[in-house]
Amino acid sequence: MSTPLLPIEFADLEQFAEKWCLPSETERYDQRLNSTMTDMQRFYDAIAARAEDALTYCDKFSIDDMPEDAKHLMHLLYSMIQVSFPIEVWRQPRIPDTGSASLTCVIEPSL
């Protein structure tokens, strides 16, 4: 078995880590566009229920000095935000009627 990406306290979310622990907004957005609603709903339900625990866990660390597994957890939280729009609002991965529009994140704060 491969090394877990997430802190042991979040072993229940490990099944989503490989797919959703993505360090850049572009990767997270692309993953969203390439995922099914069923997959995203499963991920959303699982992480939204643990979000407060995850935020509390990450808050134990300084933002400039987070261990790798906590960083992965942050990336998972960012993916939670990313999929929340298809799940809570659009009922589809892409925003309706935006096929010819793009908005690429070229700089984001480091973590």
Partner 1 sequence: MARWPKPAEGSWTQHYPELGTAPMSYEDSISPEFFELERDAIFKRAWLNVGRIEQLPRTGSYFTKEIHAAHSSIILVRDRDGSVNAFHNICRHRGNKLVWNEFPREETSGTCRQFTCKYHGWRYGLDGSLTFVQQEGEFFDLDKDNLGLARVHCEVWSGFIFVNLAAQPRQTLREFLGPMVTGLEGYPFGELTERYSYRAEVGANWKLYLDAFQEFYHAPILHGKQTPDNFSVAAQQAGFEAPHYQLDGPHRLVSTSGVVTWELDAAMRKPMEDITRSGLFGPWDVPDLGPMPAGLNPAGCEPWGLDSFQLWPNFTILIWSGGWYLTYQYWPTSHNTHIFEGNLYFTPARTPRDRVAHEMAAVTFKEYGLQDSSTLEATQLMLESRAVTTFQLNDQEILLRHLHKVAADWVGDYQRERTEAKR
89 counts as binding partner 1 under rule CB under 8 A: yes
Please spell the DSSP secondary structure of 46-91, one letter per residue: HHHHHHHHHHHHHTTS-TTS--HHHHHHHHHHHHHHHHHHIIIIIS
18 counts as binding partner 1 under rule CB under 8 A: no
Interface pick for partner 1 out of 1, 36, 52, 68 (rule CB under 8 A): 52
30 counts as binding partner 1 under rule CB under 8 A: no
Angle at 98 between CA 94 and CA 102, to 5 degrees: 95
33 counts as binding partner 1 under rule CB under 8 A: no
88 counts as binding partner 1 under rule CB under 8 A: yes
